[in-house]
Structure 1
Amino acid sequence: MSKHRPHRSSRSASWGHTLPAAKSRMLKRNLLFLALTAGATATLALCSKAQAAGGAYVVDDGAINAPGECNVDVWYQSTRHQGSSHNSVIAPACTFSQLPWVQLGAAVQRQQADDHGETQLSPQIKVQLLNREDLGLQLALAGSAHWALNRHHSFDGGDLTLPLTFSASDRLRLNLNAGWTHAYDEGEQNHRWTWGTGVEYDLMPSLTLIAERYGQRGGEQGWQAGPRLHVGQHLDLDLIVGQHLSEDRDRWLTTGATLRF
């Protein structure tokens, strides 16, 4: 090690001057959320099993939980240019032994922007249509509905998606999505076709790199990418950057975790 290495306090001061105050606060919140999530769930890691895909990523895969297995996804997302805008999500899902081809779940999302908050509940179902390990193919049908809990017009829309996963090798998986969405945008009903492509590459047993590109016909488009750290075989930790490719091209940073039991 070099004996001229700067003191810790000097590096911290330099870091603090590099980032604007709003971006520094956003980064600290994401790192704190990741640290708290890891600490709270590490004690459960010995009794659960982690898998790839899912979490805060938009492009779904064709797999479901094994019969009798559940998972909980949690993540926190902040926009880069608007420190006051953020989303928090918790999404449990289970596959029961009596229905080994069906995964049932729900997502609770809290959106906060400009001192205005909204909570949304989204029940979810995912049915596996094909699972051919010899061909490396998995196909499913996923659906969800969305209700805003603190709004007069509570029904916010729904989605249907066909996610297909092709395992090109032991390390590389490709995800393709085609679907349809129905949404209420400020009182206007919109129906759009949706699409998405994603890639997962296992760089090493403890690290997977994930990237995706997705969009709606005539609507929102964006991309996300980041590393996924596998803590043993039981817990996944995500750090994701993303950007909209339409309108104001907002960027965001997401931290999250997936726990299976």
Structure 2
Amino acid sequence: MPRIALFCLLQALTLPALAARPFVTDDARLTTAGSCQLESWVRIYPESREIWALPACNPFGNLEVTAGGGKARNDGQHGTGDFILQLKTLLRPLETNGWGLGLAGGMVHHPQVNPGPNLLGNTFVYVPMSVSFADDRIVMHANLGWLKDKASGEQRATWGLGGEFRLHDRLTGIAETFGDSSSGAFWQAGARFAIIPERVQLDATLGRELSGPASSRWISFGLRLTPDRLF
């Protein structure tokens, strides 16, 4: 799969209220009520690279709004950019040793694919579910959703399954697999480290397409900022 095409697929699957970085699979949690967060990262492939910035705010307590985007560039070729808008709410908040359920939807605009004044690109909706075990030392996440590709008119089912595993008070391991009904499955694994717990986080992952070529592998590095209160 060409790297720009993979970029477009991953951003569509990455439904960016993205579980806390570095997940692609989303969780049944929201940004702190009355505050905002910023998730940013780079993803590096053998022949291309991406950079993302996704601010998200939760001004009312149970509605998270994410608006941001990313750019990708192949070696020696022109780059492409995507813009994302997403809304997310919780139907059941996640509690320790319990489970949570949410609902999210939005759109992704690909200017190079869908040029012109129409800002409506791919549309998507999905349900994130999370389950906590062993006093939050293990938290599992599952997503099931739907995506409509504007350029082709194709409709796809999307899915994701992942887990976070507390290794230390400040260190968490992550592993996940995700994909859609018309493309291959992907996996990634890595860790996040809290420089300042609940405020500043660094993370890194390795991943690739499950049955894809070596050129589908990537490494990513991210920074997440979650201030206590802004409103």
RMSD: 1.9
Aligned to 1:133: 95
51, 62, 84: which one pairs with 2:28? 62
State the alpha-carbon separation in 2 of the partners of residues 162 and 247 from structure 1.
27
Asked if the contact 1:224–1:243 (Cα under 8 Å) also holds between the matched residues in 2, the reply is yes
Total equivalences in the alignment:
203
Alignment of 1:1-261 (within 5 A): 53-79=19-45, 81-82=46-47, 85-96=48-59, 99-114=60-75, 115-131=77-93, 133=95, 136-150=98-112, 152=115, 155-170=120-135, 171-184=137-150, 187-233=151-197, 234-248=199-213, 250-261=216-227
State the alpha-carbon separation in 2 of the partners of residues 110 and 155 from structure 1.
18
Q: Unaligned 5+ residue runs, structure 1?
A: 1-51
**Distance of aligned partners of 1:156 and 1:118 in 2 relative to their CA distance in 1, 3 Å threshold:** same
**Distance of aligned partners of 1:75 and 1:138 in 2 relative to their CA distance in 1, 3 Å threshold:** same
Asked if the contact 1:192–1:219 (Cα under 8 Å) also holds between the matched residues in 2, the reply is no
TM-score where L is the length of structure 2: 0.82
State the alpha-carbon separation in 1 of the partners of residues 68 and 32 from structure 2.
20
State the alpha-carbon separation in 1 of the partners of residues 194 and 19 from structure 2.
12
TM superposition shift of 1:150: 4.8
TM superposition shift of 1:246: 4.3
Moved over 6 A (4+): none
Give the letter aligned to residue 152 of structure 2.
Answer: E
TM-score where L is the length of structure 1: 0.73
**Distance of aligned partners of 1:206 and 1:116 in 2 relative to their CA distance in 1, 3 Å threshold:** same
Question: Sequence identity of aligned pairs in percent?
Answer: 29
Which region of structure 1 is more displaced relative to structure 2, 125-134 or 198-207? 125-134
State the alpha-carbon separation in 1 of the partners of residues 96 and 208 from structure 2.
36
SS of 1:143's partner is strand
Q: Unaligned 5+ residue runs, structure 2?
A: 1-17
